[in-house]
A and B are shown apart, each in its own frame.
Chain A
Amino acid sequence: MSHTAGQAYLNTRVSVMSIRLFSPELRVSLSQLSLPALAERFGLSALLDEQPSIAARSRAIEQSLIQVLLTELQVLAHPMSPAERALLLAWGRQYALFNLKALIRGKLYALDQEAIRANLFELPGSIRLPLPELLRAENVLELLRQLENGPYHQIARQAREVYERQREPFALEAAIDQRYYTEIVRRAMGFHHQHLDSLRRLIGAELDRVALLWLLRFRFSYRLSPSETYYQLVPSMRRLTRERLLHLVNLDTFEQVIAALPPRLRTLLAECQTISEVQQRIGHHTRREARGVLARSQSAVARALAYLMLRESDLMRLFAVVQGRLLQFPEQAIEAALDLTEPSGNPVNTTRR
């Protein structure tokens, strides 16, 4: 297949698949659906299964939604060129890294294999970690050393070096997250201008979101120093560039940071008082940017990635509703949770212990 034909095919595929994205009405009305209605509408048979516990049902649903997302990723990656496929897989690796973090935590807290396995996702071969071998590793160091002999060697090496020096889960997970985003940026910057503009817009918006949230959390929740905070961030190629971040991390209050943001983000986040509000608004903004790329971009790979990001957001929103229903939360609580929904495998979920 020629390059032009390949792009046309991929663009058509993305357009056909994009009708699966939730409509604005559905996103709003999702929280009002009952469990049987959710099961019927989205084919979530596991919801109605006689699972032994709510946790098991919730886990089965999460696994099936991730399966849906990653199957679509594979379908889109199939006709792509190696560089395009590598970018999509680099993005999809967040779920493998989620597994890696579960493994590391399990080893740190000396959980048995069965307990660790209960927290792992089944992933397709293209991004899967060698779980049986990693599960049998005796400790975190051995686990990371084993991972150094494969496609995750860079992340594993960096994580091991950090762990050897600091022996602290937060630093380890932060290093893993940082390398994850750095790898995406590296892959994206390898494209020529036809794709680069759209990718810069899409990934730049995502990195703006991630960098700002990390900055606010690290500086004002975890009280890290400016230099420590800056080191953990991944500069965006759009608004929160390296220079901008160097300036922002040096500010002492939440309000000062918001006031010093680039005009577009400052206007967007002007009235925010908490990190949660920032998370909610910038999340909407990132989705809007992704929708813009999906609707108007000429780059098939950028459109495919935008579709996957939006699809992930939809599926995680659906999962939040399912979980809320399973736990019998009131509708208001579910709606509040929906505004803060982030993909489960998203490294932003790294928390300091």
Chain B
Amino acid sequence: MKHVRLLVLTEDLPQASLALAETRCFHPDTRPPTETRLDTLPGREYCEIFNQAKSRLDKIARLVPLDTASAIDAMRVVEVAELSALNDWLGRLWGEASGYEEDFRRLDDEERLVKEQQTALENFAHLNIDLGMLRTKTRFLDFYVGLVPRENLRQLEGATGLAKHILHVYMQQGDTAHVVIVGPPGARQSQLAAVLAAAGFQNLPIPRELDREPAALQQDLARRLLDIEAQRQSLRKTLEGWGEPFHDTLLAARHTLMLAEPLVTLDPSLRSAGQLAHLAGWVPVSAVAHLEQRLRASLHHPFDLTSRDPLPDERRLVPTMPVTNPLLAPFAMLVNQYGIPAYGEIDPTPLFAVTFLLMFGSMFGDVGQGAVIAGTAWSFRDRLGRFWPFGLMAGLSSMVFGLLFGSLFGYEHILPALWMSPLSDPLLMLSIALGWGVVFLTVACLLAIYNRLAIGNRADALLGHHGVVNLIFYLSLIAGSLRVARGDGFGSVPAALIASSLLTLGWQSWRHQQASIGEKILVVFIETLETVVGYVSNTLSFLRVAAFSLNHVALSIAVFTLAGMMGDFGHVLTVILGNVFVLVLEGGIVMIQVMRLQYYEGFSRYFSGDGHLFAPLRFRPLNH
């Protein structure tokens, strides 16, 4: 990756942004330039107008659906005057469109009110008063029947009391209370009106001819609901008719905004002084020449493009290129769950993919069940998106190990094993798993050492966690243990190497502590113990690879034992259900265990994961 600095004339900025977006290889660097004179933000006004225009277009598109945005066809510069004119036009259009939105809201409110009336109607029937009188004000009494938010009820009750009115709640439903307010007419009415408005009181019209049959009244209300729905449909048609002539213009507006967006995305990186504008970013080494060529072809005025390697203190700012291989892409997604590889760090995705498939296959080796996993991933490839190759490869790996183990849906005697069934020699399986663990941890330590050397951190490569000294300790411990297993005794060379490496680590820890001597001794002791216990337990952790391959066979035996106790139909059913059980439960557990080994035993050793992905400037479809 190269750090690129581009100086152009301010008037060329829109054209430069188009060229950069077209090449798709420029990741903006938002740090301000070191030259303090470059302190103006030339793209700010453009950015404000764009955001307003986009917001308006989004709002209009809620009412006037637009087709999915296609790719940019004709490239052209969108000047600020054009953008401003577009923004004004969209503002006027939204002014009209928002009227329709308000009409829809009014219909929604009306519908809600009618539904509240329907609910209230039954309630009115139980009131022991002449409701017909509530419709009109009388000489001596003033009536308000309506709805009020429940949260305002208590306060409103006090306020109506002060205005010499009585508030009666006759029904509560959801967040709304149905109330009747009664009081004397007169001067206090205006006070009450202000209070009712502040409390969000909504008048609930009492239907005329309340003395009619309730069923007839309900029919009236149902008719009103139908009428509202008809109005809504009619409004939709009107809106459709209103929007139709603007459809193409709106698509053109969206196209214009798509062309303007690269400059807006660049805004945080832009600085200028007078006519000179500055922008910087990260570009892959292989793309620098192409970028310069493209700029030369696009810009009308001279420009200055300089590139350099990233400085050591910029390492965390440099973006990392994402994995593009479609087969590795799903594994990259899992790696990214842990973190993005930092610049200069080895991308663990290929190693992760290989070791994941090896471990998953060996822990879940079965031709039939592997085929089910692979087949399911293939069948649902549209829904699984980029993740389907992961399922396919995991299934294929399971099938390969199934062939080696001679296992088909748990049957161990149908297929001849190309190697052997895990249960025929469990000790060998456990030894292989242990050996695999040693190789895995050694590779992890080597990667940790390499990653530190790559960024010039030699001290940590040598003495840090999982550095060279740690590796010498670990390999000596393994060598000594192997000798013990063979009955040759631990050996003086491994013992001496272990002692010297632990002493070195202890000395390193001692140097970095600022505490009393007693505390230093305690910390060094605990850290040394942790190193020894950590490596031993981490290696033993890989026994689970063998344990699960044995477990898989054992589970199958359990299923067949159960099936053997059934009749023919029960046998078949138990074998099918048992396989489903093994696939779902054991498959899930194996997946989790492999991920645990990868993240905890692998990534925590060598992978910092504190990088960020390369996100180049490009044209983005503005869909709504």
A residues with a Cβ closer than 8 A to B are 113-114, 132-133, 136, 138, 142, 154, 158, 161-162, 165-166, 171, 174-175, 182, 225-228, 230-233, 242, 245-246, 249-250
Taking a contact as CB atoms under 8 Å apart, the answer to whether A226 and B162 are in contact is yes
- In the assembled complex, the CB of B131 is this many whole angstroms from the nearest CB of chain A, namely 26
Q: Which residues of A contact B48 (CB under 8 A)?
A: 113-114
**Which B residues are in CB contact (< 8 Å) with A171?**
197-198
Contact B161 A246 (CB under 8 A): yes
Contacts A138-B91, A142-B98, A249-B162 hold; do A225 and B194 have CB atoms under 8 A apart? yes
Question: Which one of A133, A158, A182, A227 contacts B200 once the chains associate, using CB atoms below 8 Å?
Answer: A158
Q: Is the CB of B198 within 8 A of A138?
A: no
Instruction: Tell me whether A227 and B160 are in contact in the complex, defined as CB-CB below 8 angstroms, given that A138-B94, A158-B200, A162-B198 are known contacts.
Output: yes
Nearest Cβ in chain B — how far from A30, in angstroms? Answer: 36
The interface residues of chain B lying within 8 Å CB-to-CB of A225 are: 162-163, 188, 191, 194
**7 closest residue pairs by CB, A with B:** A225-B191, A231-B159, A227-B162, A161-B200, A227-B163, A136-B55, A165-B197
Give B52's nearest chain A residue, CB to CB. A136
Whether, in the assembled complex, B33 has its beta carbon less than 8 Å from a beta carbon of chain A, the answer is no
30 contacts between A and B (CB under 8 A): A113-B48, A132-B51, A133-B55, A136-B51, A136-B56, A138-B91, A158-B152, A158-B200, A161-B200, A162-B197, A165-B200, A166-B194, A225-B162, A225-B191, A226-B191, A227-B160, A227-B162, A227-B188, A227-B192, A228-B195, A230-B158, A231-B156, A231-B158, A231-B159, A233-B155, A245-B158, A246-B158, A246-B161, A246-B162, A249-B162
Q: Which residues of A contact B161 (CB under 8 A)?
A: 246
The number of A-B residue pairs with CB atoms under 8 Å apart is 78
Q: Check if A138 sits within 8 Å of B158, measured CB to CB.
A: no
B310 CB within 8 Å of chain A? no
How far does the alpha carbon of A227 sit from the alpha carbon of B192 in the complex, in Å?
A: 7
* Sample of 7 further A-B pairs with CB below 8 A, known A166-B197, A233-B155: A158-B151, A162-B197, A162-B198, A225-B163, A225-B191, A230-B159, A242-B154
Q: B149 at the A/B interface (Cβ < 8 Å)? A: yes
Q: List which B14-50 residues lie within 8 A (CB) of chain A.
A: 48
Q: Point out the residues of chain A lying under 8 angstroms from B149, CB to CB.
A: 158, 161
Please state if B195 and A227 are interface contacts (CB–CB under 8 Å): yes
Complex CA gap A114/B94 in Å reads 22
Chain A CB within 8 A of B199 CB? yes
Per the bound structure, the CA–CA distance linking A245 and B197 in Å amounts to 21
- Chain B residue at smallest Cβ distance from A225: B191
A3 to B622, CA, bound (A): 49
Is B65 interfacial (CB-CB < 8 Å)? Answer: no
How many B residues, CB 8 Å from partner?
Answer: 30
| Complex interface: chain B residues within 8 A of A242 (CB) | 154, 158
B40 to chain A, nearest CB (A): 15
CB distance from A330 to the nearest CB of B (A): 38
Could you tell me if A182 and B156 are in contact, using CB atoms closer than 8 angstroms? no
Closest to A226 in B: B162
* Majority SS at the chain A contact face: helix
B residues near A132, Cβ cutoff 8 Å = 51
Closest-CB distance, B36 to chain A (whole angstroms) = 14
B159 nearest CB across to chain A (Å) = 4
Are the CB atoms of B52 and A231 closer together than 8 Å?
no
The answer to whether A228 touches B98 (Cβ under 8 A) is: no
For residue B162, which residue of chain A has the nearest CB?
Answer: A227
Asked if B95 is at the interface of the complex by the 8 Å CB criterion, the answer is yes
Docked pose: A128 CA to B51 CA in angstroms: 20
- B198 engages A175 (CB within 8 Å): yes
Q: Who on chain A is nearest to B165 by CB?
A: A227
Q: Which of B453-485 contact A (CB under 8 A)?
A: none
- Which residue of A is nearest B163, CB measured? A227
For residue B161, which residue of chain A has the nearest CB? Answer: A246
Contact in complex: B200, A228 (CB < 8 Å):
no
Contact A231 B51 (CB under 8 A): no
CA distance A250 to B161 in the complex (A): 11
Cα distance A255–B192 in the bound complex, in angstroms: 26
Knowing A132-B51, A136-B52, A142-B98, the reply to whether A232 touches B198 (Cβ < 8 A) is: yes
**Which B residues are in CB contact (< 8 Å) with A166?**
194, 197-198
Looking at B151, B159, B191, the one whose CB has the most chain A CB atoms below 10 A away is: B159
Distance to closest chain A CB from B624 (angstroms) = 15
Minimal Cβ-Cβ distance residue in B for A168? B197
Which residues of A lie under 8 Å from residue B154 when comparing CB positions? 242
B194 — which chain A residues lie within 8 A by C-beta? Answer: 166, 225, 228
Contact of A231 with B98 in the complex, beta carbons under 8 Å: no
> Could you tell me if A231 and B55 are in contact, using CB atoms closer than 8 angstroms?
no
Question: How far, in whole Å, are A227 and B190 apart by their CA atoms in the complex?
Answer: 11
Could you tell me the distance between the alpha carbons of A23 and B162 in the complex, rounded to whole angstroms? 45
Closest B residue to A230 using CB positions = B159
Bound: A166/B155 CA distance, A: 19
Q: How far is the CB of B98 from chain A (nearest CB, A)?
A: 7
Q: How far is the CA of A34 from the CA of B162 in the complex (A)?
A: 52
* A44 to B601 Cα, complex, angstroms: 49
Q: Which of B125-167 contact A (CB under 8 A)?
A: 149, 151-152, 154-156, 158-163
Chain B residues with CB under 8 Å of A249's CB are 162
B200 touches A231 (CB 8 A): no
A227 to B198, CA, bound (A): 11
A162 to B202, CA, bound (A): 11
Interchain CA distance A154-B198 in the complex, whole Å: 15
A187 to nearest B CB, angstroms? 14
Across the two chains, which residue of chain B brings its CB closest to A165?
A: B197
C-alpha spacing A171/B193, complex, angstroms: 13
B197 surroundings in chain A (CB, below 8 A): 162, 165-166, 171
Give Cα distance in the complex from A132 to B267, angstroms: 15
Q: In the complex, which residues 83-107 of chain B have their Cβ closer than 8 Å to any Cβ of chain A? A: 91, 94-95, 98
C-alpha gap A133/B194 in the complex (Å): 32
Q: Please give, as numbers and ranges, the residues of chain B lying within 8 Å of A161 by CB-CB distance.
A: 149, 200
Q: How far, in angstroms, from A161 to B202 measured CA to CA in the complex?
A: 10
Q: How far is the CA of A133 from the CA of B158 in the complex (A)?
A: 38
Q: How far is the CB of A139 from chain B (nearest CB, A)?
A: 9
Nearest to B54 among chain A residues (CB) is A136
Taking CB atoms, residues of chain A closer than 8 Å to B199 are 231
Please name all residues of chain B whose beta carbon is closer than 8 Å to the beta carbon of A250 when the two chains form the complex: 162
User: How far, in angstroms, from A249 to B192 measured CA to CA in the complex?
Assistant: 15
**Which residues of chain A come closer than 8 Å to B163, judged between CB atoms?**
225-227
Which of B51, B94, B191 is the one whose CB lies under 8 Å from A227?
B191
Contacts of A246 in B (CB 8 A): 158, 161-162
Q: Which residues of B contact A142 (CB under 8 A)?
A: 98
Contacts of B98 in A (CB 8 A): 138, 142
From residue B183, how far is it (CB to closest CB) to chain A in Å? 11
| Bound Cα distance A162, B191 (Å) | 16
C-alpha spacing A181/B54, complex, angstroms: 37
- Inside 8 A of B151's CB, which chain A residues have their CB? 154, 158, 182
Whether A228 and B95, one on each chain, are in contact in the complex, defined by CB atoms closer than 8 angstroms, is no
A21 to chain B, nearest CB (A): 33
A166 to chain B, nearest CB (A): 5
On whether the beta carbons of A228 and B158 are closer than 8 Å, the reply is no
Q: Which of A162, A230, A245 has the most CB of B within 10 A?
A: A230
Binary CB contact string for chain B from 155 to 183 against chain A (1 if under 8 A, 0 otherwise): 11011111100000000000000000000
A226 to B198, CA, bound (A): 14
Q: How far apart sit A230 and B56, CA to CA, in the bound complex (Å)?
A: 41
Complex Cα distance, B159 from A250, in Å, reads 11
Q: How far is the CA of A124 from the CA of B408 in the complex (A)?
A: 59
> Given A136-B55, A171-B198, are A227 and B159 also a contact pair (CB < 8 Å)?
yes
What's the Cα separation between A133 and B162 when bound, in Å? 41
Chain A CB within 10 Å, residue with most, of B51, B149, B158, B198: B198
Q: Which of B155, B158, B200 contacts A162 (CB 8 A)?
A: B200
User: Are A231 and B195 touching (Cβ within 8 A)?
Assistant: yes
| Closest beta carbon of chain B to A248's beta carbon, Å | 11
CA–CA, A245 and B192, complex, Å = 18
Residues of B194-237 whose CB lies within 8 A of A: 194-195, 197-200
| Cα–Cα, bound, A41→B200 (Å) | 50
| Least Cβ–Cβ distance between B113 and chain A, in angstroms | 14
Q: Which residues of A contact B152 (CB under 8 A)?
A: 158
